[in-house]
Structure 1
Amino acid sequence: MGCFGFLKTVMFIFNGIIFLAGAIILAVGIWVKVDSGSMLGFLQNLNGAPEQLKQVLNVGYLLIALGAILLLLGFLGCCGAMRESRCMLLTFFVIILIVFIAEVAGAILLLVFKGLIQNLINQLGVTVVQSIKMEYGNNKDVTDLWNATMNSMKCCGFNNYTDFTGSHFVQNTNLYPDQCCNGGLCKESNATAANVIGCYPALTKWIEGNSAVIIGVSLAIAILELVAMAVSMTLYCQIGGKLA
C-alpha cells in the first residue's frame, strides 16, 4: 500500500468513526424529541440511573444539531477519500478550518478580553436570576433544567440561594429548592445556614481545578483537527496531480 492508499484508509477509518458517532447521536436526539415518553420510561427503568441522566430530554435539539454536524463531516471525509472527490475533501477541509479558527479566536478573546467577558457574564447573571425568579417552579422546562444542573453540580441558583428569594417558587411554597439545603425542609433559615455554593461559582471552581485536563483535551482536539486538515489537503493535492 502506497502513501496515497494509506492516507485514504486513515481518512476513511477516522471519518467512519465520526459518521457512526454522528448517526447514533442524531438517532438519540430524534428519539428524545419524537418519543419522549418512551425515552423517559427507558431511563427511569435503568438501575441506579442518576437523576441528571433523566434530564437528557431537555437537550434533544442539541443532540440533533451535534449529530447532524458529525454526520456531515464523516460523510464528506469518507466519501471524499474513497471516491477521490476533490470537492468533498475541500468542503471537509473548509469546515474543519472554520471550526479551528473559531476555537483559536475564542481562546484569544478569553485571554485578551478577560475583564470584558467577566462583565458580560455578570450582566448575563442578572438576566439568569430574573429568569429564575419568574420561571422556576412555573415553567417545567426551566425547572427541570435547573434541577438537573443543581443536582449534578451540587449547587444552588446562579450565585447562591438568594437568587430564589421572592421567586414564583418561594412565594407559592414558602420553601427553597431542596438542593439549597443539606437535607430536611428547605426554609430560608436552613438555606442560609447551609450556604450551598452557587452554580456559577461552582463551575468556575471546577474549571480552575481541572484546568490542566481541559487544556490537554483542547490541545488533543486541536491536533486532531490539524491532522485531519493536513490529510484531507494532501489527498486533495494528490488527486489533483493525478488528474493533471
Structure 2
Amino acid sequence: MALGNCYTCIKYLMFAFNFVFWLLGCAILGVGIWLRADESVADFLKESSKMDTLYALAYVMIVIGFVIMLLGFLGCCGAIRESQCMLGAFFVFLFIIFAVLLGFGIWAAASKDSFREYTEDMLEEGVNKYYTDDKQRAFMDSTQNYFKCCGWDKGADDYEKGVDKGAPLSCESGTYDKPCNDEFFKWVENRLVLIAAVAISVALVLILGMAFSIILCCAIRDTLA
C-alpha cells in the first residue's frame, strides 16, 4: 500500500530512528558488559559478596540493551512493512522499557546515600574480619593497594581496635595514611552516575520513538479506511 508523501517521510524517519535506537541498545549492552568485566572490579571487588548489587546492575543493563536491540529491529520491520500489529507491539514494548529505564535511572541517581552506607559497612566488615576471613583479607588487600589507602575510617588505627597484629602489609607499613571509605565510595558513585545518565537519556529518546509509532499507525489506519 502507498502512504502520502508526508506519511512516507514519517515512515523513513521511523526507520532512521530505530536504527539509532538499535545503536543505543548496543551502547547500553556495551556499558553493562564493561561494568561486569571492569578489571578494577575483577581485581579487588570480586572477593566481596556484597558487590553482587553492582554486578546485578550490570546484568540488568546487559538484558535491557539486548532487548532494545531486538525492539529496534522490530520497529524497522514494522515501518518498512507498514504493519499496524508490529508497530503496536513496538509501542507497548517501548513504553514498558521507558518506564523501567526511567525508574532505574532515577533510582541509581537517588541511591547514592544508601550506597555510601553500604560501602562503609563493607569496608568496616573487611577491617574487622581481616585476620579471620580469607576473602575479607583479599578484598581489603586489593582495595588498599588499588586506592593506596588504609582501613575504612581512621586509616591504620582501624586495625588497632581489638586486633593485636596491627595494620597489614597492604597498608605499605603506614605510608597509606588516608582511609579507604571516600575513595571507594567515589569509585562506586562514578559508576552509578554513568548508569543513571545512560538510563535516563535512553528513556527520553524512547518518547520520540513512541510518538513516531503512533503517528505511523494512524497513517496506516487512515489508508485502510
Give yes or no for the alignment of 1:154 onto 2:159: no
Provide the TM-score with structure 1 as the length reference.
0.58
Answering whether residue 167 of structure 2 is matched by residue 176 of structure 1, we say yes
Task: Output the amino acid matched with 2:151.
Answer: G
Q: Structure 1, residues 179-220: CA drift from partner, whole Å, max 9, x if none? A: 334xxxx4xxxx4xx47111125457x78xxx9x99x96896
CA contact (8 A) 1:15 1:78 kept: yes
5 Å-filtered alignment, 1:63-142, equals 65-84=56-75, 85-103=90-108, 105-106=110-111, 121=117, 125=120, 128-129=123-124, 132-133=127-128, 135-142=129-136
Paired amino acid for 2:22:
F
Which residue does the alignment assign to 1:230?
207
1:6-61 residue CA offsets vs partner (Å, 9 max, x unmatched): 101111122134335646876x69xxxxxxxxxxxxx9xxxxxx9x8533643784
Q: How many residues align?
A: 191
1:10 alignment counterpart: 20
CA distance in 2, matches of 1:25, 1:127: 19
5+ residue gaps, structure 2: 1-8, 76-89
Q: Distance in 2 between matches of 1:96 and 1:218?
A: 10
The equivalent of 2:177 in structure 1 is 196
Considering only aligned residues, what root-mean-square deviation do their CA atoms show, in Å? 4.3
Deviations 1:84-129 (A, max 9, x none): 322321221111111233245457xx6xxxxxx8xx85x9858854
Query: Which residue does the alignment assign to 2:44?
Result: 55
| TM superposition score normalised by structure 2 | 0.62
- Choose 65-74 or 98-107, whichever is displaced more: 98-107
Please give the alpha-carbon distance, in whole angstroms, between the structure 2 residues aligned to 1:95 and 1:127.
28
Unaligned runs of 5+ in 1: 30-42, 44-49, 111-116
Question: Which letter does structure 1 place at the counterpart of 2:19?
Answer: T
* Cα distance change, pair 238–61 in 1 and its aligned pair in 2 (3 A): farther
Question: What is the aligned-residue identity percentage?
Answer: 15
CA distance in 2, matches of 1:104, 1:166: 35
Q: 1:126 to 1:72 in 2, by over 3 A?
A: closer
When residues 127 and 146 of structure 1 are mapped into structure 2, their CA distance, relative to the original with a 3 A threshold, is closer
Q: Distance in 1 between matches of 2:194 and 2:135?
A: 31
Higher RCO, Cα 8 Å, sep 6+: 2
